[in-house]
Amino acid sequence: MSPVVRIVRRPLLVSPDGLPAALHPVLRRVYAARSVGTGDELDHALARLPPPGGLRGAAEAAERLARALAGDEHILIVGDFDADGATSSAVAVGALRAMGGRRVGFLVPDRFRYGYGLTPEIVEVALARRPDLIVTVDNGVASVAGVAAANAAGVDVIVTDHHLPGHELPAAAAIVDPSLPGCAFSGHALAGVGVIFYVLLALRAHLRDAGWFERRGVPEPRLADFLDLVALGTVADVVPLGRVNRILVAQGLERIRAGRACPGVAALLEVAGRDPRRATAADLGYFVAPRLNAAGRLEDMTVGIDCLLAPRLDEARVLAARLDGFNRERRRIEEGMQEQARALVERLQLGGEGELPVGLCLFDAGWHQGVVGLLASRLKERLHRPVVALALADGGWARGSGRSVPGVHLRDVLEAVATANPGLIERFGGHAMAAGLTLRAADVPAFAAAFDTEVRRWLAPEEIAGVVHSDGEIAREDLRRELAEAVRQGGPWGQAFPEPAFDGRFDVLSTRVVGDRHLRLLLRPAGGEPAVEAIAFNKAGEAADGLPARLRFAYHLDLDDYRGGTDLQLRVAHWEATG
């Protein structure tokens, strides 16, 4: 039994009257539905960024880093194994070296041996490299034991993170995390790469005031040169695109379109077949990030960071090709896991009279640990409920990831389960919409029951429904390439600032299957011309028995890149009876 999916139109949250009159009326409506009501809010200039002094802990981190540079200390960056962690590591290493750091390296935990964060085991690996200072990026705020282990060895730790803290903070030399209680920084939704970028802004200002660059004869670096990496990590981590993040992403995309991307980003766009001159946030999120993430999922994110740090395009191309190969293998593994997950879901439905748990937990001993997060995400999108997917790890442990839906804070759910069931969950952490956890494989059934019980406190079974949000209808005379281009350039679009979608009634003139799974349609607005091409990805099966002559479609305006990016096409998200 599939959940009901319905089209819901977005209300205007502010008046569009304060927006520039030159904007297309459709864009004015789109912005007003996203709480943007003035032209100033559409200004993505770097000068609009809040200063780093407002980020709690940034000044202390900058002062400790400045001492490390002055003392020629060995600085070791300890990152995460996803795209945010990779870009964070690359930005930290690249910028510190540009500021005169001669001994700056990085270490990425092996997710299959050590899991996430600065654990005592990772500290032991790090100590073999004899660091004087460890800087975590995109992790560390929950690493109480790991920081204690480093302190015991006489090594200071600076934590830079954006995840929610636990009840106890690590005893680090400095902690920079906009999620900390009492941090009033307006960019509270920064990704890990945004946090370290801000720490580096604070460090550069500190060094400038101290006369460092003049005394050492070091050219003051342009940190804007790293904004393509900041944009990539921000989009990849699916953090809300509030004002600060929109500026960071817009500035990074501007650099990419101008041909000023670092060799690694340029090579990843190239291997993905994307034109950097027309790059959008979607290109980073759907084409570049998966290739980068594939290294951390299947092998070692060191390859990804090396690609981002490559000084020349020819070197970056070799590494990007390896990442592309990882991504092809990841897709193959994921497709098999999705088939197995569908079978598990069908068995649960048959066994429970068609009703699935509201909070769904699936486990298979043969699943790949690095791909369960993607599996959870796909199932969440299809079943419209929180999903945890778990794989078997060494030593009888089950390790996995969860994805949630609006209204259910996944990390809080896991904390409630852990509090009510002491010892059930060994380790967990994350965000409202995504989290990771480890528990004994033998305890998976007990966890699955407790997870469903807790999710039901947040979400009633009758509330489970898929929603496709629409920004309303578009007049048929506005179904033109010019509006599609204006919408594409009107972003950056992303989490909490979604790409505009529209809805309307169309006559279905023809359909044909392309690429085995996709459906190409020729549609005509009900009541008039012109006909317009449309593409519905992964929906060929839903049209196997044909489509009615007229339907209500929810769609995105798009440009057909296979035709040089000049022809309008509708990218179909959903269709339903016209009623």
Provide the pairing of β-strand 502-514 with 466-470.
unpaired
Q: Report whether 194 contacts 237 (CB < 8 A).
A: no
Please write the tens of the pLDDT for every residue from 423-468: 999 988 877 888 899 999 999 999 999 999 999 999 888 778 788 9
On whether the pTM is more than 0.85, the answer is yes
pLDDT, residue 466, reads 80
Extract the residue ranges of the chain whose pLDDT is less than 70.
1-4, 115, 350-354, 561-566, 579
pLDDT, residue 544, reads 80
| String of DSSP letters for 200-259 | HHHHHHHHHHTTHHHHHTPPPP-GGGGHHHHHHHHHHTT----HHHHHHHHHHHHHHHTT
In angstroms, rounded to a whole number, what is the distance separating the alpha carbons of residues 247 and 253?
10
pLDDT, residue 1, reads 41
Alpha carbon of 284 to those of 32, 228, 512, 565: distances in Å? 26, 10, 29, 17
Secondary structure class of 388 (helix, strand, coil): strand
Q: Amino acid identity of 285?
A: G
Q: Report whether 202 contacts 178 (CB < 8 A).
A: no
pLDDT, residue 560, reads 80
Instruction: Tell me the domains of the chain and their CATH numbers.
Output: 5-43+468-576 (2.40.50.460), 46-325 (3.90.1640.30), 356-464 (3.10.310.30)
In angstroms, rounded to a whole number, what is the distance separating the alpha carbons of residues 559 and 210?
51
Closest CA to 64 of 146, 158, 130: 158
